[in-house]
Chains A and B, each alone.
Chain A
Amino acid sequence: MYGQGIARGLLVTMKHIARSYMDDIRYAGRKYSGEGNFGARQGMQATGSYTVQYPDEKIAVPERFRFIPFLIVEDHDHPERPGHDWCTSCGICAKVCPPQCIWIVRGKNPQTGRPVPEPDAFYIDIDICMNCGYCSEFCPFDAIKMDHDYELASYDRTSAHIFDKQKLSKEMSHWKRIAPTTALEEMQARGGWEHKDILREKAKAERAAARARKSASKQSS
């Protein structure tokens, strides 16, 4: 019969309207409280639609979410190297960056003029950054990571959108907070929470100490 298709379609819309309210009733009063309510209303079992009231509410982004990169520095309360750069200014991120928005001035020892493993300056032009994540993927020292903060709009792009080293630097603890699993995996791959070079030096020192102990014990025996 003509019109049947429309009528059956309208039933579907009615069902959808009802469903939206059904979830509201099921979670009545618990929209803003209660463990896991939000997850359930956004998950596979959710029925109807659920509006997140941005910007009053914001969905936490998953760990791997990538926006603008930041540079990892040692925590400011680190006992040995507070605020020390992890970046060695090796330049790999600048080379692998597709739109070429990373600018690095390699550090130099003022006396000898020889390069030192830390950047004198580090800039990212966030207008140009395409959020691809290559810099963090290919950095051999885990020194650059993708941040989660996506609210970067400003009124004047010419003054606010080239991030310098100071603006880019964030503590290691920030990375551990926004991406705990990934940070842990990286730690395991490195073999410790310290910078690769430090770990290597430590291992070297340990080996030397072991050797020294060994030869000492040989001599004494």
Chain B
Amino acid sequence: MDVVADKTQLDISASVELLRERWPDAISHDNRDGFSGIIVDPAQLDDVALAMRDELGFDYLSSVTGVDYLGVADHMEVVYHAYRTSGGPALVFKAQTGRDDPRVPSLVSVWPGADFQEREAYDLYGIHFEGHPDLRRILLWDGFDGHPLRKDWQEAYYEEEHKPFDSRWPGGQVYRAEEKNVFGKNVKYPDDFDLGRLNDVSESDLYQGLGLGVDVQALDSDGLRTDRLVVNLGPHHPSTHGVFRMVVTLDGETIASLDPVMGYLHRNHEKIGERNSFLHNLPFTDRLDYISSMSNNLGYALAVEQLLSQGARYSPPTYRAECLRVLMVELTRIVNHLWSLGFLLNDLGAFFTPMLYANNEREKILDFFEATAGSRLMCNYMRFAGVYRDIPERIRSVANLVNDKVRDYNTMDYLTEMVNERLPRFLDEYDTLLTRNEILRERTVGVGVLLPEDAIALSTCGPLLRASGVPYDVRRADPYSIYPELDFDIPIGKNGDIYDRFLVRFQEMRESVRILRQILPRLERSQGEEVMSKVAHTPRVPVGEAYGRVENPKGELGYYVVSEGDPKGPQNPWRYHVRAPSFINLTALGPMCVGHKVADVVTILGSIDIVLGETDR
């Protein structure tokens, strides 16, 4: 029997053994309670990573993030989650380094998709990734003092290490944070920072490396003297879908290079998440990708459930709760794709007609969300081991003093009609409206092509990855909830251009409708089952780490959660990291745009489908 015939088929433990045989001194098991994976000596990290990718087939680096173990083990740790695009669980590996001058080799040369994530870890932890081609801050601004995710860093309105704060009860005399810490005086700069730079519009750091100010009148290959022009698209521009900026170098109308600049909406979600209790974080996840709050909730709930299931007295969600979860996230997928296709068409100049048609249907779904979860966008519906409440018997609004337009529908009828008739009818119509439209095709076919190998290497995910022909979908590759028993296909594209992304999203909506059709009878059958969570508001989360990931409409959304708490201490995540699909998909934006015209940049960005709440976190 030849066991090593195909090493790319080895399971995780066999793969780990193989690596350990080769590097017995550099690799050790992570034996901490509740932790898994291997710890790799930073000196050997490149080689080990290369072997993982090339020999073992872990071609997809999903997540890179730092953790500061100040006071626990007093080191910094970089945590990597690598997957195979053929499916299966993660190979988790970690590199540890001192806190004073943390240095870890960069893996951008192995997985180019590590680029933005390493920059983020550098920005927020100060970890130097040696060999990174462009190690700059990414979310924060140049004059920012310190690295905020370090455990000893305190924010401007710092109050206490952990919520709940003591000042709220029993002696809760209210005050505003800004009364104690006046706005404007709450900012710190590094000692050597020149405040004059704040008014300096040249932003030399950024423009360095763009080849500017060096030789703008260079001769191009045709012997023409052309100016290279730097244009800032955004941050305030309707086509950027939020506050997002692209620094473009133009050669005539053609893009020579594109550098995304983000962080304008950065609020240090992860630091807030570490101050929060486990439960507090749920409504905060709504605010990441605010178009798809339901599935954001689910990813986080799955991560914490992984931890909870290690402890005593945990009962997993009931079957009905799982059905409701899938119902909600698939409706969310439709909501998101309706929105993103509508806006893609806006970006193409089909101003608001397709957008509003799509929105008309979206409203109907949001009405259902509102009646069930209490809010249209910030649903906060999932709970650990359950959901907030069962669907109401009737979608019913009550007239009261403030409002008088009353509606009343039977919920199951409403859903059945929506899923079986209204949505399919609409999708057919939308198909007629757009898919064969010649203008749409001219603007999108062959534009913004992303080859499958690049798509994988750049760690792109979701419809962007699948449109390039890679059938990678977390619902199938690493299933969760009741997806294994549901029947659906993973649509993929052929050419990896904008048109394929359009088609993939369209097909995904049809597949979601197909899933919903299977969910409805399951809901009928499981009528009356308990769905609400029995986990208390201060759950005792066992020590350990978990990585929960879901196939969000925009791509793979992952939550890396570490619980370090002593069982009697504060119940707060030690580490709470969000692997944001919009953020990581932007790695591919630059390469996709080069060689295209300015007008195409807007469409290419639109075809990635980003949302800045999640990108900037």
Main DSSP-derived SS at the A contact region: mixed
Interface set, chain A 18-47, CB cutoff 8 A to B: 36, 38-39, 42-45
User: A6-B439, A42-B367, A60-B398 given. 8 additional CB < 8 A pairs?
Assistant: A12-B432, A39-B406, A39-B408, A60-B406, A91-B169, A95-B168, A95-B537, A131-B375
Instruction: Say whether A100 contacts B165, CB under 8 Å.
Output: yes
- Asked whether B174 lies within 8 Å of A162 as measured between CB atoms, the reply is yes
Say yes or no for B371: interface residue by CB 8 A criterion.
yes
Residue of B nearest to A98 (CB): B280
CB distance from B560 to the nearest CB of A (A): 20
CA A78 – CA B508 in complex, angstroms?
A: 56
Q: Give Cα A4–Cα B436 distance, bound, in whole angstroms.
A: 8
**B432: which of A8, A38, A95 is its contact (CB, 8 Å)?**
A8
A44-B364, A149-B402 known; A125 vs B174 contact (CB < 8 Å) = yes
Query: B345-404: which residues lie under 8 A (CB-CB) from chain A?
Result: 353, 356-357, 360, 364, 367, 370-375, 378, 380, 388-389, 392-393, 395-400, 402-404
A103 touches B174 (CB 8 A): yes
Q: Please give me the residue from chain A that is nearest to B168 by CB atom.
A: A94
CB-CB contacts below 8 Å: A46-102 with B: 49, 52, 57-66, 89, 91-92, 94-98, 100, 102
B374 touches A133 (CB 8 A): yes
A61 to B380, CA, bound (A): 17
Complex Cα spacing A42 to B440, Å:
31
6 A-B pairs (CB sep. < 8 Å): A59-B403, A60-B407, A64-B372, A64-B373, A98-B283, A106-B169
Q: List CB contacts (< 8 Å) of A93-147 with chain B.
A: 94-98, 100, 102-106, 115, 121, 123, 125, 130-134, 137-138, 146
CA distance A8 to B431 in the complex (A): 10
Q: Are the CB atoms of B392 and A105 closer together than 8 Å? A: no
Q: How far is the CA of A92 from the CA of B168 in the complex (A)?
A: 11
Closest to A174 in B: B400
Q: Verify B397–A66 contact, CB threshold 8 A.
A: no
Q: Say whether A92 contacts B405, CB under 8 Å.
A: no
Does B422 sit within 8 A of A, measured CB to CB?
yes
B429 contacts the other chain (Cβ, under 8 Å)? yes
Q: Which residue in A2, A105, A138 is a CB contact (below 8 Å) of B172?
A: A105
A62–B406 contact, CB under 8 A? no
Residues of B contacting A132 in the complex (Cβ-Cβ under 8 angstroms) = 282-283, 378, 380
Residues of B within 8 A of A180 (CB): 398
Interface contact A60-B404, CB-CB below 8 Å: yes
**Per-position 1/0 for B411-431, Cβ under 8 A of A:** 000100110011000000100
The 8 A CB mask of B324-362 against A (1 = contact, 0 = none) is: 000000000000000000000000000001001100100
A177 adjacent to chain B (CB < 8 Å): yes
| Interface membership of A214, Cβ < 8 A | no
Q: What's the nearest-Cβ distance from chain A to residue B573, in Å?
A: 13
- B397–A60 CB distance below 8 A: yes
Task: Decide if B433 is an interface residue (CB 8 Å cutoff).
Answer: yes
The chain A residue with its CB closest to the CB of B357 is: A16
Q: Which residues from chain A contact B371 at a C-beta distance below 8 Å? A: 62-64
Question: B407 is contacted by which of A13, A38, A45, A137 (Cβ under 8 Å)?
Answer: A38
Closest to B368 in A: A62
Pairwise interchain contact A96-B537, C-beta atoms closer than 8 A:
yes
Nearest residue (CB) in A for B378 is A131
Q: Which residues on the A side are within 8 Å of B100 (C-beta)?
A: none
A187 interface contact, C-beta 8 A? no
B380: A residues at CB distance < 8 A = 132-133
Asked if B374 and A146 sit within 8 Å, CB to CB, the answer is yes
Say yes or no: is A191 at the interface (Cβ < 8 Å to chain B): no
Minimum distance in angstroms from A49 CB to a CB of chain B: 6
Q: Chain A residues with Cβ under 8 A from B356's Cβ?
A: 49
Residue of A with least CB distance to B360: A49
A138 to B404, CA, bound (A): 30
**Contact A100 to B398, CB < 8 A, known contacts A12-B432, A64-B374:** no
Total count of chain B residues near the partner, CB < 8 A: 69
Contact residues in A for B364 (Cβ distance below 8 Å):
44
Question: Cβ of B392: which chain A residues have Cβ within 8 Å of it?
Answer: 62-64, 181
Shortest distance between the CB of B231 and any CB in chain A (Å): 32
Which chain B residue lies CB-closest to A64? B374
Query: Does B164 contact A94, Cβ atoms closer than 8 Å?
Result: yes
Which chain B residue shows the least CB distance to A164? Answer: B174
Q: Is B188 interfacial (CB 8 A cutoff)?
A: no
Cα–Cα distance between A122 and B37 once the two chains are bound (Å): 48
* Nearest-neighbor residue (CB-CB) of A133 within chain B: B374
What residue in chain A is nearest B389 (Cβ atoms)?
A64
Enumerate chain B residues within 8 angstroms of A179, measured Cβ to Cβ: 398
Is B438's CB within 8 Å of the partner chain A?
yes
B207 partner residues in chain A, CB cutoff 8 A? none
Contact assessment for A61 and B397 in the assembled complex, using a CB-CB cutoff below 8 Å:
yes
Query: Is A168 engaged at the interface, CB distance under 8 Å to the other chain?
Result: no
- Closest partner residue, chain B, to A157 (CB atom): B176
Q: B374–A148 contact, CB under 8 A?
A: no
> Is B202 an interface position by the 8 A CB rule?
no
> Which B residues touch A104, using CB under 8 A?
168-170, 172
Task: Using CB atoms, name the residue of chain A closest to B376.
Answer: A65
Contact partners of B408 in chain A: CB under 8 A: 36, 39
Partner of A9, one of B165, B280, B370, B434: B434
Nearest B residue to A9 via CB reads B433
Q: How far is the CB of A14 from chain B (nearest CB, A)?
A: 11
Residue of B nearest to A136 (CB): B374
Contact assessment for B398 and A178 in the assembled complex, using a CB-CB cutoff below 8 Å: yes
A61, B370: Cβ atoms under 8 Å? yes
Q: Which residues of A lie under 8 Å from residue B441 when comparing CB positions? A: 5
Contact B171 A13 (CB under 8 A): no
Cβ-based interface call for B63 (8 A): no
Expressed in whole angstroms, the Cα–Cα distance for A96 and B176 within the complex equals 19
Write out the residue numbers on chain A whose beta carbons fall within 8 Å of the beta carbon of B495.
Answer: none
Q: Mark B129-166, 1 if CB is under 8 A from A, else 0.
A: 00000000000000000000000000000000001110
Given the complex, which residues of A lie within 8 Å of B163, measured CB to CB? 98, 100
Q: Which residues of B contact A105 (CB under 8 A)?
A: 170-173
Known A61-B403, A125-B174; contact A5-B414, beta-carbon cutoff 8 A: no
Residues of A within 8 A of B378 (CB): 130-132
Whether B279 lies near A130 (C-beta < 8 A) is no
Question: Cβ of A156: which chain B residues have Cβ within 8 Å of it?
Answer: none
Contact yes or no, B375 A2, CB < 8 A: no
B172 contacts A60, CB within 8 Å?
no
State whether A5 and B402 are in contact (beta carbons under 8 Å apart), knowing that A100-B163, A131-B378 are contacts in the complex.
no
Contact pick for B169, options A57, A94, A125, A130, CB 8 Å: A94
Q: Are A60 and B433 neighbours in the complex by a CB distance under 8 Å?
A: no
Q: Are A91's CB and B397's CB within 8 A?
A: no
Chain B nearest CB from A82 CB (Å) reads 21
Beta-carbon nearest neighbor of A130 in chain B: B283
